[in-house]
């Protein structure tokens, strides 16, 4: 095996570790770090949660001081450029230098303008061999939300659209959602787990009023690990009775988007925050949500809400879960735009097919 192939293998491990932080790190990146000496991984770590220790710190903490001399021959594999600035934690570059690491291999430059190549510069200036670009595409795909959120021109939250449909393209057995049979499981249990992971990986989950009326969903994370997202409900005239819903305070906050005319006060009793922003266009109220700390949103339905996001182009990823069964009739799945900006990839989740379109990064 040549050293390039070895670099790929260790970087793949760093990316695997990074992914373990998927539900807790945003808006920070997912970062993993493997320290390799004589072709053996002597330490591993990852960025476990927003505000917590960086991957390099967690990995190096596992190496006892008496191996310090040997670290001159060790390589650190990290899927992101080490930081060179004081944030909530001290710079990882300082730590790598103080621990005498001989070589650093990274997948990509940190798009954070405070870092953006300066980490590499400092390591090189100290005489450390630095390799950049190993498994870069994979690393960029993994951190596509972080990359988008660092772009000063990207001012709205990162939006993922998700729906489940039958093999023949229906999302509900009833044509009129109001007459829906309530929560009708189209896809399998395994898909449910994946969807709950998607919920945990986003700051908020958004649904329209009809979905709440028909399904009375709790919109929480139960079949995966992670925090409950903030619930965003589109209820233009504030018609729902929030005291009668399944959405408990313990399982996350509920925010309601309504029109100015619909704004009837605070709904404080039900612990619901009212945002009378719907007279603005979608892009504008999304931007306001970003300013409130909502950096990522999973839009879960129903059909007309999803269509609204598709039609105005306010989306980044699309996740479609397709069961192997037909419904023969019912409410049609949202219509994809004539031209999506990239390609869908397909993978199996239990009995279902997952079609995933992701933002180019
Ligand atoms: C690394 N390793 O594991 C991570 C990095 O606020 P802080 O201190 O947590 O810093 C956040 C910034 O640091 C974040 O925007 C990104 O540029 C970088 N994240 N860097 O070397 C890590 N999570
Ligand atoms: Zn760092």
Q: Does the beta carbon of 254 lie inside 6 Å of ligand 1?
A: no
Helix (H) / strand (E) containing 346: strand 344-349
**Ligand nearest to the Cα of 91, by number:** 2
More confident residue, 244 or 82: 82
- Give me the domain span that covers residue 271: 155-357
235 and 316 within one domain:
yes
Identify which of 28, 101, 104, 108 to mutate to test ligand 1's pocket (most ligand atoms within 8 A of the CB): 28
The residue out of 89, 124, 148 marking a domain boundary is 148
Give which of 116, 107, 197, 112 is closest to 146, Cα–Cα: 112
Reply yes or no on whether the pLDDT at 181 is more than 60. no
- The single-letter DSSP state of residue 149 is H
pTM over 0.85: yes
Per-residue pLDDT at 343: 81
Per-residue pLDDT at 10: 98
The closest-lying atom of ligand 1 relative to the alpha carbon of residue 50 is: 9
Identify which of 17, 19, 29 to mutate to test ligand 1's pocket (most ligand atoms within 8 A of the CB): 29
Closest residue by Cα to atom 10, ligand 1, is 87
Per-residue pLDDT at 265: 57
Per-residue pLDDT at 270: 65
Per-residue pLDDT at 89: 85
**pLDDT single digits (tens) 61-74:** 999 876 778 899 99
Give which of 250, 218, 255 is closest to 233, Cα–Cα: 255
Residue 243 sits in a domain whose CATH number is 3.40.430.10
**pLDDT single digits (tens) 115-137:** 999 999 999 999 999 999 999 99
Residue 8 sits in a domain whose CATH number is 3.40.140.10
Q: CA of 135: how far to CAs of 1, 12, 62, 76, 108, in Å?
A: 17, 7, 25, 15, 8
200 — pLDDT class (breaks 50, 70, 90):
very high
200 and 78 within one domain:
no
Question: What is the number of domains present in the chain?
Answer: 2
**pLDDT single digits (tens) 321-350:** 999 999 999 999 999 988 776 689 999 999
More confident residue, 271 or 57: 57
Enzyme catalytic residues: 56
């Amino acid at each position: 095996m040549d050293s390039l192939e070895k670099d790929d293998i260790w970087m793949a491990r760093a990316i695997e570790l990074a992914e373990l932080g998927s539900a807790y790190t945003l808006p920070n990146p997912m970062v993993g770090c493997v320290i390799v000496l004589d072709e053996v991984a002597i330490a591993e770590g990852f960025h476990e949660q927003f505000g917590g220790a960086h991957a390099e710190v967690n990995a190096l903490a596992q190496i006892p001081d008496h191996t310090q001399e040997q670290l001159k021959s060790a390589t650190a594999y990290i899927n992101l450029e080490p930081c060179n600035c004081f944030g909530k934690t001290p710079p990882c570059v300082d730590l790598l230098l103080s621990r005498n690491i001989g070589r650093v291999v990274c997948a990509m430059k940190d798009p954070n303008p405070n870092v953006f190549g300066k980490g590499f510069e400092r390591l090189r200036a100290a005489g450390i061999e630095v390799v950049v670009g190993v498994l870069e595409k994979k690393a960029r795909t993994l951190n596509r939300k972080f990359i988008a959120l660092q772009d000063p021109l990207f001012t709205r939250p990162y939006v993922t659209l998700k729906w489940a449909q039958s093999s023949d393209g229906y999302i509900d057995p009833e044509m009129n959602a109001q007459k829906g049979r309530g929560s009708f499981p189209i896809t399998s249990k395994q898909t449910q787990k994946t969807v709950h992971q998607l919920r945990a990986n986003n700051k908020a989950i958004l649904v329209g009023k009809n979905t709440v009326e028909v399904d009375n969903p709790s919109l929480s994370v139960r079949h995966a690990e992670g925090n409950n997202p903030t619930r965003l409900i589109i209820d233009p005239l504030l018609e729902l009775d929030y005291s009668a819903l399944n959405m408990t305070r313990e399982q996350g906050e509920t925010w309601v988007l309504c029109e100015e005319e619909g704004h009837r006060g605070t709904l404080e009793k039900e612990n619901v925050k009212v945002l009378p922003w719907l007279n603005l266009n979608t892009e504008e109220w999304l931007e306001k949500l970003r300013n409130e700390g909502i950096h990522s949103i999973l839009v879960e339905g129903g059909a007309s809400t999803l269509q609204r996001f598709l039609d105005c182009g306010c989306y980044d990823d699309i996740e479609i879960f397709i069961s192997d069964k037909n419904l023969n009739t019912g409410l049609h799945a949202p219509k994809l735009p004539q031209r999506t900006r990239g390609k869908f990839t397909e993978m199996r989740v239990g009995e279902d097919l997952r079609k995933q379109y992701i933002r180019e990064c």
